[in-house]
Structure 1
Amino acid sequence: MSGDGRGADKDMATVPEGGPLRDAFGAGTVMAQAVRAARDLVACVEAHPGLFCSDALDATTCNALACANAFAAAGVDAPRTRILNRTALWLFGLDWLVDHKAAAREEIEDINRRVLAVLDGADPAPGDELTPFLAEIRDELAASPAFPALRTAWREDLVRVLEAGLREWEWKTAAASGDRGRLPSLDGYLANADNIGSAWVNLSHWIALADPATIANLEPLREVNREVQKALRLLNDLATYERDLAWGDLNAIMLDTDRAGVSARIDEIIRYCRRLLGPLRDPCPDGTAYLERQLGFNIAFYGVSDYWGSP
């Protein structure tokens, strides 16, 4: 039954026709792929101990990412979600270095310089803990037939992540110094949602899959992708407000709004996303379903937990 050749039909029990058994069968299928993906992410963490050395990046992060991506990409087996999972994990390492380790703007500028060099084909610098894993992702993604035409878009989206990370670090630093006049409005904060990088992760996934219908409709999908990213940013903020206070991170609730205002804005964004996705469902079923499942999963997930491990 699985797309990688493991477990032929003759080795499987009969698929239930409907009802709770069928629902459970579908959930079990997704979770089986999530378990396999989580093992790969744990191996990545072990292979890059200098990058994933914080207690906040532990098995919880690997398992949560694998589950979220398996449900969003339901029907895609674990080997074909490697890029999706690995780009998401790499971003957690980047986020930790920028948000929690960097003590000066110059440190972040140096991180961004090293990332861009590897993005453009350079080898990682000796002793660099961040970019070797990115180089592995870059080289694997380059094997996709969709990569040559979309390499520029892939680079542009990661540049947006880097610029947004620096911008948010500046806001956070201003808030810590008591200079709240430099903090953005909620609109300005959402305009910087590339800080979480989900749009780049999703683009990486679509390039890796090289689904013709998705690639043919990529530009309108990318528009929705950025709106979904805004919703995920705010869902994360609702879930992690207490953690952000403890860690000194910026959160939408610290700006010109409150929890009710953030929730209302999430609802508004989701309605807008569904309007944008409507015309894409027929010509691009896989890409639209992926974004809707990503939204649905995270609405439920962030209502209970978040992706970080122990502080």
Structure 2
Amino acid sequence: MASHPHLPAAMESGRICAVAGQSQRHMEEWSGAYPGLFSAKPFDAALHSTVSMAMAFSGPWLTAEQLKMANKACLWAFGLDWLVDYVHTSSAEVRDLARRCLAVADGAEPDDGDDLARMLRDIREELTPAPAFRRLGAVWRDELQRMLEAMIREWDWKTSRVTPTLEEYLANADNHGFSFVFTCHWIHSGGPGAAAGLDRTREASGAVQRVMRLLNDLSSYERDVSWGGVNALLLGATHRELTQRVAVLAGEARELIGSVRDTDRGLADYLERQMDFCAGFYQVGEYWGRL
């Protein structure tokens, strides 16, 4: 049998997969703890597994405990997306959801039975004692608000049948949620000096988020059509044009990530590997299970 010299090292892959397995068990525990949020069929074992793999391969030097907040925040963002994209059927519901989340971010207690707000409260309480929260807490609050406002904006596009331009759509990439999840990981994994290079890190995160927005759309076109979502391929761009745009945006993101390496190499490597993992992952599938 011919050898394959470019295959990844099996031992290192095995260790990373073991970390992902530990993370998957964490995610299954959280799904059980917030049943009102994660009982629908699309939250299947494969979603837990693939999200855990994304985090483990993006930070292969990190333990499951160090990746715990990235996984928890990501699962929460999937729950939020599910409610906005599929469950809620009115603008009032979506805006009330955003109001409740921002109130919890500001310290309010969630209402009984509100598993989305309850999980966000728990995330906030886990992040608050972190040394990096003193400097990055306001960034966390801002990224949450930006994500919620972007989701409302997309909801309005969808329900009013307004077709945004591709540039408007990319400017609304906060609805993808990557930068919010990344900020949770940034706070959880960083020490007192984590905010060094804050502006450059946020700019790089936003650039990666735009790449991921389009990568996701290239993979999820059929699901977005089925769920009634907005997708870049529904805005007049062809698959080839979007693929070319992804390449340009990825190049811009790598330049910005390079500037982050001056202050935090691990964070920069994590950003770049997240982007590259998703580029490979979305060639084959997506995270959501079937309805």
Same fold by TM (over 0.5)?
yes
Are 1:56 and 2:28 an aligned pair?
no
Cα offset for 1:211?
A: 4.3
Q: Which whole-Å deviations, capped at 9, do the CAs of 1:14-34 have from their partners, x for residues lacking one?
A: xxxxx8898111111111110
Code of the residue aligned with 2:59 in structure 1: it is: A
Of 135, 144, 151 in structure 2, the residue corresponding to residue 149 of structure 1 is 135
Gaps of 5+ in 1: 1-18, 176-181
- Distance (whole Å) between structure 1 residues aligned to residue 134 and residue 194 of structure 2: 16
Which residue, 66, 80, 87 being the options, matches 1:94? Answer: 80
Deviations 1:189-209 (A, max 9, x none): 011111011001111101111
Deviation for aligned residue 1:274: 1.4
Once the two structures are superposed, residues 203-251 of structure 1 have per-residue CA deviations (whole angstroms, 9 ceiling, x without a partner) of 1101111146653122201101001001101000000111111111110
What does 1:68-217 align with in structure 2 at a 5 Å threshold? 68-175=54-161, 182-211=162-191, 214-217=194-197
CA distance in 1, matches of 2:284, 2:191: 33
Of residues 227, 236, 239, the one that matches 1:247 is 227
Is the 8 Å Cα contact of residues 186 and 252 (structure 1) preserved in structure 2?
yes
Over aligned residue pairs, what C-alpha RMSD do you find? 1.5
Distance of 1:137 and 1:283 partners within structure 2: 26
The structure-2 alpha-carbon separation of the partners of 1:106 and 1:228, relative to structure 1 and needing over 3 Å to count, comes to same
Taking the TM superposition and a 5 Å limit, the aligned residue runs for 1:285-300 are 285-300=265-280
What is the TM-score with the length of structure 1 in the denominator?
A: 0.89
Supply the AA of the counterpart residue of 1:256. Answer: G
How many pairs are equivalent? 287
Report the Cα distance in structure 2 between the residues aligned to 1:61 and 1:158, rounded to whole angstroms.
Answer: 22
Number of the residue aligned with 1:263? 243
- Tell me, in whole angstroms, the C-alpha distance in 1 between the residues paired with 2:252 and 2:99: 36
- Looking at structure 2, the residues matched to 21 and 276 of structure 1 have their Cα atoms a distance apart, in angstroms, of 29
- Output the amino acid matched with 1:190: L
Question: Contact 2:55–2:70 at 8 Å: present in 1 too?
Answer: yes
CA distance in 2, matches of 1:114, 1:278: 37
Q: Provide the TM-score with structure 2 as the length reference.
A: 0.95
Alpha-carbon distance in structure 2 between the residues aligned to 1:165 and 1:31:
33
* Aligned-partner residue type, residue 153 of structure 2: R
Structure 2 portions without partners, runs of 5+: none
Q: Indicate the SS of the match to 1:229.
A: helix
Identity score, percent: 41
Question: Would you say the 8 A contact 1:214–1:286 is kept in 2?
Answer: no
Q: Is the 8 A contact 2:211 2:246 kept in 1?
A: yes
Picking from 20, 25, 33, the partner of 2:11 is: 25
1:22–1:255 distance in 2 versus 1, CA, 3 Å: closer
Query: Could you say what secondary structure the match of 1:215 adopts?
Result: coil
Distance 1:61 1:22, change over 3 A: closer
What amino acid maps onto 2:258 in structure 1?
Answer: G
Amino acid at match of 1:65: V
Q: Which residue of 211, 223, 241 maps to 2:203?
A: 223
